[in-house]
Amino acid sequence: MNLSAHERVLIARHPQRPNAREYIDALFTSFFEMKGDRLCGEDGAILGGVALYHGRPVTVIATRKGRTLEENLRGHFGMPSPEGYRKAQRLMRQAEKFRRPVITLIDTSGAYPGMQAEERGQGEAIARCLSEMSALRVPIVAVITGEGNSGGALALAVADRVLMMENAVYAILSPEGFASILYKDASRAAQAAGVMRLTAPDLMALGVIDGIIPEPAGGAHADAAGAMRALDAAITAQLDMLSGKSGETLAAERYDKFRRMQAYTTLAPCASQGDEHEQAD
Amino acid sequence: MTDVFEKRRYRLRAMKKLLSSYLPADQMTACPKCQREMPIREKEDHLGVCPYCGYHWPLGAQKRLQMLMDGGAYTELHADLAASDPLEFPGYGDKLADARKKTGMAEAVLTATGEIDGRACVVCVLDGRFMMGSMGAAVGEKLTLAIEYALENRLPLIIFSASGGARMQEGILSLMQMAKTSAAIRRFGDAGLLYISVLTDPTTGGVTASFASLGDVILAEPGARIGFAGPRVIEQTIGEKLPYNFQRAEFVMEHGFVDAVIERGKLRAALADLLRVHEGGRT
């Protein structure tokens, strides 16, 4: 499909697009949900647990956009709080203990920007996810199924393989947030989407993701079963490639994968120490 | 009462005028917190801390190191590494050029080796004057190289953060630096080495959500804003004004995410103490 970046944003957010619960029900058997971060709370925006995937035990962690208003209010419309990220960390450590692969499904407009989330260390919770995932000694496959915005999405995407659904978007921030910061005008989101390089083909070209999962004609919402089949085939292929590797090899290769996220140049060394300018008050 | 203060403000303004007429080089500045005016020289003499109310002005990276390191001496690492505008983002090139001119730095972080109280260490300082200290791919690379240098040489690591977060103009590549730096810190920590994170005003967004929150010890300067989401975004979400102390260093410490809030004048001594206690690290 030849779609603009902004059109893909709209498809990624389509209300009928399959959500985490539906993907999990379609792809896994014996899914057992595990709640709570074992510190102080439970966050409905993260759905996690154990399941069988074509007969093999796996840990599944997903951001959850609800179908009903009630579900959505419980999980801040799929925007996780620190408790959600800490639950994810707990489930990942548990996966390592029982040596089962981790599969994450990501569809979030970002981490929840609320007062209580800040008080309980939203930044620390995300940072700790990045740290834990970078060193985890089991295979991790992450799939951006819809929106993957900001550190809130990255917190579940430090994986051996990062895949995107064809119409998913993955970015530093929502196009609205980006436009409001750079253009001081959130309504210029469509324009922002055009320069952000947030589509799957863009990110493939930048070397940020490892594969694109084709969607049925019209998008995943037009043929959910077709989307599930494509997702299933992609995850299976990646897990097969990763399953023979030792924990040490996986962690080392994962480190190198993110270590290679580079883009810089070198300038002639600055001769002066720079005049000491006043900081803007 | 107001009259008295108004008179005083008037006298201050008059004095400032008089002073600047006699001493053209001695410009005045006003504290953004208590509004007191003072010669810039007085502010500098107090390490950029308001002598009246304790407000900590943001500090440039070079000054920070001169203040901190033994004899003000340090050796810069990878000084020439700089952003390459990987997405060819409109207007970014000019912004970079301005920031370079303003700071004399190639990028928003200065990484260096030197000694504090006779103990060798690697120190990285983000500089808020350079595009709000934002982390793009070059900043992430410089930090990671410094972390890896500290690991290879088994040196303690200190990072001063001052950042609006990930740099928008490099999009997803900036986001990836969060993963890269966090992974490097994890590897560094797994080797039994000490990492002290010092949060200065402001430390927000993707920097808070990566290396800045992963210190073995996390210190903060008084009044520094520390958080993930920006105050404006939170106000929009909850539909009300945030109290002044929200996301300030003291508040963040009370909520369990900072070990100690330390005035600028006492930071060097505190760091020296921590380095002494951790000397050698795990062998």
B57-112 confidence digits (pLDDT tens) = 999 999 999 999 999 999 999 999 999 999 999 999 999 999 999 999 999 999 99
CB contact under 8 A, B141 and A119: no
Residue B14 has pLDDT above 90, yes or no: no
Over residues A261-277, mean pLDDT: 65
- Per the listing, tokens 């008295």 go with B4
Query: For residue B90, what is the DSSP state?
Result: T
Q: How far apart are CA B170 and CA A208, in angstroms?
A: 13
Res. A122 pLDDT band, cuts 50 70 90? very high
* pLDDT given at position B174: 98
* pLDDT, greater one: B24 or B91: B91
Could you tell me the domains of chain B? 1-55 (no CATH), 58-277 (3.90.226.10)
Closest residue in A to B242 (Cα) is A115
Closest residue in A to B181 (Cα) is A259
Res. A277 pLDDT band, cuts 50 70 90? very low
Over residues A174-186, mean pLDDT: 91
Query: Which of A195, A262, A275 is closest, CB to CB, to B90?
Result: A195
Over residues A11-16, mean pLDDT: 95
Element (H, E) at A214: none
Closest residue in A to B241 (Cα) is A115
Over residues A146-171, mean pLDDT: 98
In the stretch 157-186 of chain B, residues with CB closer than 8 A to chain A read 166, 168-180, 182-186
Displacement of CA B218 from its chain's centroid (Å): 13
CB contact under 8 A, A261 and B176: yes
Structure ipTM: 0.94
Per cent of chain B over pLDDT 90 is: 83
Closest residue in A to B229 (Cα) is A113
Average pLDDT across chain B, whole number = 92
CB contact under 8 A, B30 and A272: no
Q: How many CB pairs under 8 A join A and B?
A: 218
Could you tell me the domains of chain A? 5-259 (3.90.226.10)
Q: Measured between beta carbons, which residues in chain B are less than 8 angstroms from residue A177?
A: 233
How far is B130 from chain A, CA to nearest CA, in Å?
10
Quote the crossing angle between the two packed helices A20-27 and A224-242, to the nearest 10°. Answer: 70
Cβ atoms of A125 and A152 within 8 Å: the answer is no
* pLDDT given at position B27: 87
Q: Does B34 touch chain A (CB under 8 A)?
A: no
Q: Does B191 touch chain A (CB under 8 A)?
A: no
Residues B185-229 have pLDDT tens digits of 999 999 999 999 999 999 999 999 999 999 999 999 999 999 999
Cis peptide upstream of residue B202 (ω within 30 degrees of 0):
yes
Residue A281 has pLDDT above 70, yes or no: no
Over residues B33-54, mean pLDDT: 93
Query: Which of B180, B208, B255 is closest, CB to CB, to A259?
Result: B180
- Per the listing, tokens 């008179």 go with B7
Q: Measured between beta carbons, which residues in chain A are less than 8 angstroms from residue B137?
A: 261-264
* pLDDT given at position A208: 97
* pLDDT, greater one: B277 or B11: B277
